[in-house]
Structure 1
Amino acid sequence: MKKYTGYLIDLDGTIYQGNNKVDGAKEFIERLKIHNIDYLFLTNNSTKTAPMVAEFLTQVHGIPTLPNQVYTSAMATADYLINTLKLTKGSRVYVIGEIGLKSALSNAGFQLTAKEPEVVIVGLDTQVNYQMFEDATLAIRRGAKYIATNLDTNIPNERGLIPGAGALNALIITATNVQPIEIGKPSSQIIELAMQRLVSSFEQTLIVGDNYATDILAGINAHVDTLLTYTGISTKSQVAKQTKKPTYEVDSLNDWYI
């Protein structure tokens, strides 16, 4: 088995399910630390800031984490606007999203406004209302570039599978007939941006996740090896039907040896 010098690790369904712990997750992170292997928690969830995610991992799940060990789709979206779209500070963006997304964009110097935005960005927002959908739809129809932090249809938590950002974006897609630029997994965008923060090459990095349609496909799209753990969304029967398989599969992270 190949040895890896860097890991990109999913959170929801891989390290935890809401407030519930995932078997073997804490021990897996402890093994990485013992072997001094660089890792970054990589999540499609744009609702929380990196310090909030780090505190949640530390306080609720007993996994000591620093903010610089977390990379969210919100952070990747801000980096994409700067590095790829070459937007300058003060550029107008309209956001459907929570504090994680809004903080990432405002900290990058963008102006959050519904007035003539250059870009519309849609992430998960549990307080979204019809007026916000209306503003986003009209702006996109007037020519604003449309970006989705991710298109996850569901998020696993302690109650089950709840609606994700993809469910909100489905409304915008239907109303505008425009497909968004997707930043989060399975897009390779977030992997390429995250790799800039990891001290490891693409060839020596492993992506770990529970969802074939997001985590594993992101690795496949970015040509990075993948490890699928069956502790979240994907099942063995579903993955067996796929032509492109994960590099590795385990029942839980207890079964993965560094």
Structure 2
Amino acid sequence: MDGVLVHEERAIPGAAEFIAALRRHERPFLVLTNNSIFTPRDLRARLHAAGLDIPQESIWTSALATAKFLSEQRPEGTAYVIGEAGLTTALHDVGYVMTTRDPEYVVLGETRTYSFEAITKAIQLIESGARFIATNPDPTGPSPSGSLPATGSVAALITKATGVEPYFVGKPNPLMMRTALNRIEAHSETTVMIGDRMDTDVLSGLEAGLRSILVLTGSTAPGQVERFPFRPTRVVDSIADVVPLVTELAEGDADGA
């Protein structure tokens, strides 16, 4: 989502045309984000304000992926949560109870204001035996004034204090990609991952068996691509360059290619 379709809540040129092309050719899609702050309803409203009409059913967040993972591991379990509405709502929706008394999990997500008191409590609960889960490994997040510490940075602090590594559910974990594929009943061989980060988007696509397109409107700069030991299937300047590909693929299917 961020860096591909929008940048600081403004649509990137070509984003609206890309979504329109997917709909015109009846291509199922999901908009993915590692940000766990917002619910899909919140994100739909934010995208709509940027001029992008995307239903909340087509938005898949690391918070939703985390909730799904936990509900399959320990149905209707208990957790101490550091995060905002996107994460707490997702966990409530799968039957989880938020508690500070002997929770089965400590779940760390994104928040605008990390509390030292909350982090201290998380450390103590992990020391007492709670399992450590984090929504995503991103060390920083963007803001108009510069980078902000994100889930990965705070997780590293907790790990340093406890010696316990978290299990990251979000990108680049292929688990998030596979749950997304299942959600739209898609197969990895006929699905493309479009992202702006080599270390999360392209890597997660690669490990899930997807073709990948890197757009250069976000985190990874052109000169950084060659530093990685893996490559995307294609590199383009922006999402606007992907619009013709949607039509090309659709026409290929119609011709039996």
- Do Structure 1 and Structure 2 share a fold, with TM-score over 0.5? yes
Q: Secondary structure at the residue paired with 2:183?
A: coil
Gap change, CA 1:239 and 1:170, over 3 Å in 2: same
Which amino acid letter does the alignment assign opposite residue 54 of structure 2? T
- Relative CO higher for 1 or 2, CA cutoff 8 Å, sep ≥ 6? 1
Contact 2:9–2:47 (CA under 8 A) maintained in structure 1:
no
State which structure, 1 or 2, has the greater radius of gyration over its C-alpha atoms.
Answer: 2
- Output the amino acid matched with 1:70: I
State the match for 2:37 in structure 1.
Answer: 47
Matches for 1:73-84 after TM superposition, within 5 Å: 73-83=62-72
**TM-score normalised by the chain length of structure 2:** 0.91
Q: Residue 188 of structure 1 contacts residue 218 of structure 1 at CA under 8 Å; is this kept in 2? A: yes
Secondary structure in 1 aligned to 2:223?
Answer: helix
CA deviation map 1:118-140 (0-9, x unaligned): 01110111232111111111111
**Given that residues 102 and 125 in structure 2 are in contact (C-alpha distance below 8 angstroms), is that contact kept between their aligned partners in structure 1?**
yes
Once the two structures are TM-superposed, the CA of residue 172 in structure 1 deviates from its matched residue by 1.0
Is 1:253 matched up with 2:243?
Answer: no
- Deviation, structure 1 residue 244: 0.9
| Residue in 1 that maps onto 2:4 | 14
| 1:239 maps onto 2:225 in alignment | yes
Q: Please list every run of 5 or more consecutive structure 1 residues that lacks an aligned counterpart in the other structure.
A: 1-10
Q: Are positions 1:221 and 2:207 aligned together?
A: yes
Q: Which has the larger share of helix?
A: 2
Equivalent pairs counted in the alignment come to 244
CA distance in structure 1 between the partners assigned to 2:124 and 2:149 by the alignment:
24
Question: In the TM superposition, what is the alpha-carbon distance from 1:34 to its structure 2 partner?
Answer: 1.4
Question: Contact 1:13–1:156 (CA<8 Å) still a contact in 2?
Answer: no
Task: Give the residue type in structure 1 aligned to 2:132.
Answer: Y
The answer for unaligned runs of 5 or more in structure 2 is 247-257
The alpha-carbon deviation at position 197 of structure 1 amounts to 0.5
* 1:35 maps to which of 19, 25, 37: 25
Cα distance between partner residues in 1 of 2:229 and 2:155: 28
**1:116-131 maps to which residues of 2 (within 5 A)?**
116-131=102-117
More strand by share: 1
Q: Does 1:98 align with 2:84?
A: yes
Shift of the alpha carbon at 1:218?
0.6
Structure 1 counterpart of 2:56? 67
Q: Does the alignment pair 1:203 with 2:189? A: yes
* RMSD, aligned CA: 1.3
Q: How does 1:163-178 map to 2 (within 5 A)?
A: 163-178=149-164
Supply the distance in 2 between the matched residues of 1:72 and 1:62 (Cα, whole angstroms).
Answer: 20
1:146 aligns with 2:135: no
Q: Offset at 1:233?
A: 0.4
Between the aligned residues of both structures, percent identity stands at 35
- How far has the Cα of 1:148 moved from its partner? 0.7
Q: Verify: 1:23 aligned to 2:9, yes or no.
A: no
- Deviation of 1:73 after TM superposition, in Å, equals 0.5
8 Å CA contact 1:19, 1:158 repeated in 2: no
TM-score normalised by L of structure 1: 0.91
Letter in 1 for 2:154: L
